[in-house]
Amino acid sequence: MQCREFREIADSYLGNELIVETNHEVISHLEHCAECRRELAARRELRCQLREASIKAPGNQMSAEFGQRLSARLHEQAFGRSVTPLSRRGWHPSVTLRRTSWIALAACLTLAATFGLVALRQWILRPSPQQGGQEVANSETPNYPAQLNPGVPVTIVKTELAKDAAGDHRDCAVHFRLAEKPIDLEVAGRKYDPVYVNLTKAVVSGQGEVPLGAEFVEAHSCVFQGRRFAHIILRYHGRLVSFLVTEIGDSNAAKTNAALASKGAQVIECSQFDGYQVSCFQTARHAVFIVSDLPEGENLALARAVAPSVFAHITRSENPA
């Protein structure tokens, strides 16, 4: 090894980034080259000085006050969202419901004593107007209920599309590790699918009525497992929520959804993949997914909140005439 070569790789040697064979060559060179030994020592010293000076520099110190504030806030975030996650919004959190389940039981017994078990059972199991696997977003549904509507069944579906949506949320919104770089949503709209154009408005503003506390993070178009999605990311109480729209090619599904679309109904289906909640509804040619690690009821509530405006927007784009 020549001195010039040594100087090229001396820093990598100090950082222990060289392969074993090259390390041996470096050591062998150092054994008989005093000038390179001095150079190596000087670089090592400079490196130590740089690190220590940077760490000790008064301007680089994090204030104790900020450290305490940060810790307190994160602690609050960790416990606030899981123990009493929804109390600020005046909802009935599921934890509280579970905690007071004995009260509910007592109430049921009282009712049973008053009206009779049979009558009560019939009343509870009475089919709701929307029952039968279809759930229609309507004005009676609050924009942002915490709990599932009682009496409305949720169809559990497992489709490859929903898996892809959960995967895209994980790899794009959470870990930022998609192989292909996302592109601007409006550009993608002009290039790939006109439905993407102004989709953000339908989700975030206008008739979308994004629930209080949801903050817009980003909108783009990305590709997961070869499938292109419009991807709108919101942050809700510190959790990332993905709204994903993709074109579907299933002709049977298209027929079904066209029929539903004519009735103005949105069937919202819920499933769970890889720890993420996925709520989905479809139009004639597109599937819309709402993916997050929120509880199922909250994820579904978000889907309900945006379904009318997103459904209307996509349907308009699918049928421009």
Partner 1 sequence: MFGIAATRESQVTVEKQWAAFEAEAMPHATSLFRIALWLTRDQTEAEDLVQETLTEALASFHRFARGTNCRAWLVSIMYHRHSKRRKATTRLHLVSDAEERIAETIAFEAPTPQNVTDEEVLGALERLPPAFQEVVILADVEEMSYKEIAAAIDVPMGTVMSRISRGRRLLRSELASYARAHGFGQSGQQRLSRVSEESIREC
Residues 31, 15: Cα–Cα separation, whole Å: 19
> Position of tokens 């509804």?
281
DSSP 96-110: HHHHTHHHHHHHHHH
Q: Taking the complex as a whole, how short is the minimal distance between the CB of residue 99 and partner 1, in angstroms?
A: 5
Nearer to partner 1 (CB atom), residue 33 or residue 267: 33
Nearer to partner 1 (CB atom), residue 186 or residue 293: 293
Nearer to partner 1 (CB atom), residue 87 or residue 262: 87
Q: Which two tokens stand for residue 136?
A: 């229609």
Nearer to partner 1 (CB atom), residue 240 or residue 245: 240
Nearer to partner 1 (CB atom), residue 50 or residue 259: 50
Helix then strand count (H, E) for the chain reads 12, 7
Residues 244, 164: Cα–Cα separation, whole Å: 10
Q: Which two tokens stand for residue 293?
A: 């690690």
Nearer to partner 1 (CB atom), residue 42 or residue 113: 42
Contacting residues for 291 by C-beta, under 8 A, at least 6 apart: 165, 166, 168, 169, 241, 242, 244, 276, 277, 278, 279, 299
Q: Taking the complex as a whole, how short is the minimal distance between the CB of residue 2 and partner 1, in angstroms?
A: 12
Interface residues toward partner 1, by CB under 8 A: 4, 7-8, 11-12, 15, 17, 39, 42-43, 45-47, 49-57, 59-60, 62, 66-67, 70-71, 73-75, 77-79, 82-83, 95, 97-102, 170, 174-176, 217-218, 238-240, 275, 293
Q: Taking the complex as a whole, how short is the minimal distance between the CB of residue 102 and partner 1, in angstroms?
A: 7
C-beta pairs of 148-153 under 8 Å, 24+ apart in sequence: 148/296, 148/297, 148/300, 151/126, 151/127, 152/128
Phi, psi of 281 (to 5 degrees): -140, 160
Q: Taking the complex as a whole, how short is the minimal distance between the CB of residue 183 and partner 1, in angstroms?
A: 13
Q: Taking the complex as a whole, how short is the minimal distance between the CB of residue 147 and partner 1, in angstroms?
A: 15
Q: Taking the complex as a whole, how short is the minimal distance between the CB of residue 299 and partner 1, in angstroms?
A: 15
Q: Taking the complex as a whole, how short is the minimal distance between the CB of residue 283 and partner 1, in angstroms?
A: 30
CB 283 within 8 A of CB 317: no
Nearer to partner 1 (CB atom), residue 75 or residue 88: 75
